[in-house]
Structure 1
Amino acid sequence: MDTLADGQPSAPLREVVGELSRYLADVTADLFGKLTDADVLAELQEFESLRRRLAVVDHALVAELDRRALAGRLVVASTSTLLQAALRLSPHEAKQRVSASQVCGPRWSLTGERLESLLPEVAAGQAAGVVSVEQARVIAETLEELPGSVAPADVSAAERHLVVTAAHLPPRQVGIAGRRILAQLDPDGVLASDAEHARRRSFALMPQADGGYRAVGRLTPACGALLLSWLSPRSAPRPAQGMAGDPAQAIPDSRNHGQRMHDALQELAGLAVRRTELLDSGAPAQVIISMTADQLADRQGWAETSFGQLLTVGQALKLADEAAITLLVRDARGAVLRQGRTKRIATRSQTLALIARDGGCSFPGCDKPPEWCQRHHIVPWADGGTTDLDNLTLLCSSHHRDFEAAGWACRLVDGLPTWIPPGWVDPTRTPRWHHRIDRR
């Protein structure tokens, strides 16, 4: 820790700081007042070019912090948190700098070879003083919207075009040019795959100067369907409230839709925080999903929620482990052939039994406690799995979501959940138990 505290900036930076100090002294002494109108404008443009070039230094420094894993050595949660502490930045500004460094800063291979940035044209534009931080952010966000099916050559061409546009137009116009490129490369608005949705997912609550918070992010179809199913019925306008029993003085609900949605979200957050006992079921919301009989049989295609949101059939069926679902099966013309609803995923007594048996997430090596776990059907409900103790286990949300994609499988052996690893983990695929489960 002492060596870190005794660090010194590089000699080139000290020289630059010395020159800048002399320039600032001239500015304080009314340097600009001695310039002509044309010179003042030229000074402004030249200084702006310098300001934009300085972003290259910021990207390289943040990337170096990551390469050295300095945050971990200082027992700090992340590079973003390190920037907040070292530079007294807001969480939002720190995350913006880390994000910008990840796409415009240098990278290194596993063998230590230096690689070009993910957006080399944008990085070059900033180094030349042409692209501003705001323009770079707009370009990065635009390219992030491109589906994975777009050829890399087309992505590179789009990046070059947007950098050229940034040399002549402000950020808003660069964004408009980006929307046109998206329309050209994805003219039919092809629905994103599950992998694309997972790649783009994000959520953040950013503290504001006035004490409030700003929510920003992008939800997956499954997450959005669950949240909307809870918020929608609880954000309806309240019936008019009378005063002193006089209906003539009834006060209508003055909240707009956004305010009602906010209040419903606050109710949901309060419910989660104040909950002191296990719910009878982990199915707190009702989701209505429709699909055709062929889709149900083939597990292919897109299902639709009652809110008009599309999600894959696979996602829709997985939601049964997390919510009560009314499944409407239609024929090709849209007529409803049958209606089925999932059972509640587990009773209170079943959940207590699972906690006593599993003690938390049953995936080998996971330390998540029962309060952080969901109840998982070992044989999926869509495949006829029952909501019985011999077909349930506790899983944390990350293992519940990812174990199948990673190639793991769960089986119940002698009444205990066992996990069969994929071949790349164990060629013999020998079953494994969680260390906390008593096998005596």
Structure 2
Amino acid sequence: MGGLLAQVEADVAELVAGPLWTLSDTEITDEVRRVHATIQQLSARLLTLIGAADSREIPYTAGATGTANWLTYLLAMRHRDAVVWTKLAKLLPETPVVEEALAAGRVTVEQARVITKTVHDLPSAVGEVGKAKADQALTKLAVEDRLRPETLENHRSQILELVAPEIALERLRRDLERAERSAYDRRDFTLVPYGEGEYRCAVSSIPRWLRSCGPRWIRCPDHASPHPPLRLPHCPMPRAIVPLAPLTMAPALAAAVLRAALAAVRAALTSARIHEAVLPAVLVAVLPAVLVAVLPAVLVAVLPAVLVAVLRAVRAEAARMGAVRVPAVRMR
């Protein structure tokens, strides 16, 4: 074997010393292709030697802590590159099709690295038959279609569907369920006052199904209610202005209630036979001041509670009808 390697070295030295000016453009192109293929063949031999050295524990006998460190010292290469060569030397025997193609110079070292890693990362449920099928399919793509390593890496997500479609479908189902649970757990829905009768709706962790379904209408549990339903608009931004019709009518309702209370007080005072000259003065002097002082506090105290109660009822009804899930409301 030493004499054969010496002959290869002599032939390489003769090839390197050969003049280039005697070669035509076609001959240079052909030689570039053939020299590159020969380098891949020698790289396959180097990987075989690295695997044999690792199996015999030669690096540990030489005092190195591992095969990668041994290569770093022996060949003066970067440690990162030594790790890549060591991993490839371990995985290459598991993919005999790409190993044979590399030894023949029909694939490159980088293509072999991508193929071996892809086959190795397949789930164990695929079995040896599935891995052999993946090895053959990826090697065929690399040889016949001459796909670059980065293009082969894009086939990592598709090779499982080719060799084991039922396993790929089950994995996709689990991933979708996990994503749905994560989106549901991280959901958030916050309403912030924004002008008169309007609130800013802040929605975070919007699920894909809600982003893609467009505007949604959420109806109150009482379908006979005169108020229109709440609308959650589809918007590319995480915030949107959502007019809430029930809240816009709250001041009018409060004014009506106060008018009714005022009428009741006036009737009570009148029935008590208070002097007609005193009653108008009391109403004009006292009640406006009371209304100015009490009405804002009443609105501030009552409106948030009304809003929370309405949205909780909407959430319960929507969950019962199965139309759309509305998470808990947080006021700030």
TM range, normalised to the smaller chain?
0.3 to 0.5
TM-score in terms of structure 2 length:
0.48
Which protein shows a greater Rg?
2
TM-score, reference length from structure 1: 0.36
The higher-RCO structure (CA 8 Å, 6+ apart) is: 2
* More helix, by proportion: 2
